[in-house]
């Protein structure tokens, strides 16, 4: 009888969960974006939300919850009900924070379930026109001649911009001061205004400023040259062999979100990411769409946590020298 009762309860739960997923979403869905307005994550969330609204016939809204290198917004999302109505946009900021910021009241792979990646793009090292360096080797020489005098901007500790900067310092033996900002928009404005000399920014976010001559591109950070900036060498080409840093974006939900809801969202996001017009638009900005199943994305996240733990170790060892 106990086995029968347990089977009945399980079957009822499965039927209820399936029915819930079939009706999902029946009200507004919120994207928490722990990064500032206008940045790559914010722009991607609004694009994804717009297309999901059309396909699922329900409103998807974006709420920017910035601060503490994405920890504030991520922690808020971790406390949300696991019902599919609060989702979190993440980047390699969160995977880096797992080892970079021990004092968090959440754990990424404990408190969230993977849904889908969105896209990936290279970064670009840019300098204000007043900086006396036209390429990476001249920047390295300038930084070594004036240790601690040059500054680079980021959108906060643990962000891809920060980690890319610290990795560059560690691999080149330079002392360039990190100047964190509340979000990427503020960091970008500091460099455009000349308050901070350097930034490593996402290609899609900085491409227009480069084209307008507001900053000088010194190098991109991928394995190969950016299609948007084909005349700009990679950092590896410029002599820092083995250097690579990119920014990727993805979507997760609070742990415990029904599997059927996760799978439904994953399928819908895959469709949005693969739409020809979105692929073309991202390509024009230097970003590539990425598609994985929830299980594949889960593994990707776990591997990325390990990867950035190794980078953090390298950075810490370099700082002690």
For the chain, counts of helices (H) and of strands (E): 12, 10
The model's pTM is 0.85
Tokens coding 73: 């917004």
- Interior CA angle at 92 toward 147 and 273, to 5°? 135
Domains delineated in the chain: 27-120+247-312 (3.40.190.150), 122-245 (3.40.190.10)
Enumerate the β-bridge partners of residue 151. Answer: 177
Q: Region 39-68: what's the mean pLDDT? A: 94
pLDDT digits (tens, 9 = 90+) for 256-301: 999 999 999 999 999 999 999 999 999 988 899 999 999 999 999 9
Query: How do residues 129-178 score in pLDDT, each as one tens digit?
Result: 999 999 999 999 999 999 999 999 998 888 899 999 999 999 999 999 99
Question: Are the C-beta atoms of residues 36 and 183 closer than 8 Å to each other?
Answer: yes
CA–CA dist 12, 14 (Å, integer): 5
Question: Per residue in 6-31, pLDDT tens?
Answer: 444 344 444 455 655 689 999 999 99
Instruction: Determine whether 302 is exposed, middle or buried from the number of CB atoms within 10 Å of its CB (0-12, 13-18, 19+).
Output: middle
pLDDT for residue 4: 55
Using alpha carbons, select from 256, 252, 206, 257 the residue that is nearest to residue 232. 206
DSSP states of 122-170 as a string?
EEEEEE-TTSS-SSHHHHHHHHHHSTTT-EEEESSTTSHHHHHHHHHHH
């Amino acid at each position: 009888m106990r086995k029968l009762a347990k089977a009945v309860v399980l079957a009822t739960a499965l039927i209820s969960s399936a029915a819930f997923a079939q009706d999902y979403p029946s009200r507004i869905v919120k994207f928490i974006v722990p990064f500032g307005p206008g940045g790559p994550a914010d722009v991607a969330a609004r694009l994804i939300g717009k297309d999901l609204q059309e396909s699922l016939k329900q409103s998807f809204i974006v709420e920017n919850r910035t601060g503490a290198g994405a920890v504030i917004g991520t922690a808020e999302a971790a406390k949300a009900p696991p019902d599919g109505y609060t989702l979190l946009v993440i980047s390699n900021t969160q995977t880096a924070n797992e080892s970079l910021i021990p004092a968090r009241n959440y754990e990424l792979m404990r408190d969230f379930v993977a849904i889908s990646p969105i896209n990936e793009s290279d970064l670009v090292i840019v300098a204000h026109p007043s900086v006396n360096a036209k390429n990476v080797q001249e920047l390295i020489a300038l930084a070594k001649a004036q240790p601690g005098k040059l500054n680079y901007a980021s959108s906060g500790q643990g962000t891809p911009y920060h980690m890319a900067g610290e990795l560059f310092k560690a691999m080149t033996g330079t002392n360039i001061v990190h100047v964190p900002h509340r979000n990427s928009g503020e960091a970008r404005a500091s460099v455009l205004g000349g308050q901070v000399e350097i930034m490593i920014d996402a290609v899609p976010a900085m491409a227009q400023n480069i084209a307008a001559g507001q900053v000088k591109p010194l190098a991109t950070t991928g394995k190969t040259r950016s299609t948007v900036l084909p005349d700009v060498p990679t950092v590896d080409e410029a002599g820092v062999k083995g250097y690579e840093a990119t920014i990727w974006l993805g979507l997760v939900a609070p742990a415990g979100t029904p599997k059927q809801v996760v799978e439904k969202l994953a399928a819908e996001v895959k469709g949005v990411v693969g739409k020809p017009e979105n692929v073309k638009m991202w390509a024009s900005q230097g970003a590539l769409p990425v598609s994985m199943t929830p299980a594949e994305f889960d593994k990707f996240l776990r591997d990325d946590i390990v990867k950035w733990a190794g980078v953090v170790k390298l950075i810490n060892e370099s700082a002690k020298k």
